[in-house]
Amino acid sequence: MPLNLAQVLNTVAHEIRTPLAVSQGYLKLYLDGRLTNADDQRRALQQTRDALGVLTTLCHDMSKVSALSEVTSPALTERVTATVLVDHLKTASEVEGTAWSIEDGGRATIASNGVVDLVKAVAIVAKAAFDEASETPRAVRVSGGLRQGSGGQGGLLMLAGSPEAVSALEAGPDAAAARQMNFTKGGKGLRLIWAAFVLQQHHVQTWTHQDHRAAVGFRFPVVPA
């Protein structure tokens, strides 16, 4: 983050390739007369329909990403506390079953241009990290700032991953072991890229840890209430 046009276009091309190949392949089988069984024909048409549905979703997501990319510095006129942000996140399907804790900073205030989009973006990015280790217990810890002596900026921290990974992320995005979050993972469609633009508009930093890639940290700038 920030993403560039080449990364976005490369992701779009990658995500389109598979459903397009699937739909073309099944249609060719049908037109060549190689699907003589009614069940095979029905299955092929269903697979083609599903693949076209993926393409439809990609087109919709491309429009959303395009709209976001055109507004680089939106007015962040809304205010939301950390407690309210967490309450919204707890209802997100992407992070269902996660253990939450707010150690401090619950009253910290964040500027936003739409809490719904911000919550969705955080949930999408957290799920992408969780998906890297599906068997690992999931936890999110919210705290009011970076650990003393970390050398990083202050702000509201939200750390998502296993308990061990969450502790490792406390040093912040400027720590030697911190790594940039990958927003162009294959198989994720454009959801991660959309989330990256939303977080970028809110000036939220994200990072992973070199030893705990199945975890992610968020640093939200804090503003006066």
Tell whether 207 is covered by a domain: yes
Residue 152 lies in a domain: yes
Phi-psi group of 105: left, alpha or beta (phi > 0 → left; psi -120 to 50 → alpha; rest → beta): left
45 domain residue, yes or no: yes
Look at residue 134 in the predicted model and tell me its pLDDT. 63
State which residues form the domain around 34: 5-69
Query: End of a domain among 19, 51, 69?
Result: 69
225 part of a folded domain: no
Based on the domain organization, do 123 and 61 belong to the same domain? no
Distance, C-alpha 36 to centroid of its chain: 43
Q: Are 123 and 116 in contact (CB under 8 A)?
A: no
Per-residue confidence (pLDDT) for residue 152, from 0 to 100: 47
Q: What are the DSSP calls for 66-79, one per residue?
A: HHHHT-SS----EE
Q: Record the pTM.
A: 0.80
**pLDDT of amino acid 4:** 66
Q: Which tokens go with 112?
A: 């936003």
Tally of domains in the chain: 2
Q: What is the pLDDT of residue 151?
A: 44
Q: Which residues of the chain have pLDDT under 50?
A: 147-152
What confidence score (pLDDT) does residue 47 get?
92
Given 28, 45, 69, the domain boundary residue is: 69
Residues 129 and 45 in one domain: no
Q: What percent of the chain has pLDDT over 90?
A: 30
Domain boundary among 19, 41, 69: 69
- Asked if 193 contacts 184 with a C-beta cutoff of 8 angstroms, the reply is yes
Answer yes or no: do 121 and 151 share one domain. Answer: yes
CATH number at residue 145: 3.30.565.10
Which pLDDT score is estimated for 129? Answer: 85
Query: CATH number of the domain that 26 lies in?
Result: 1.10.287
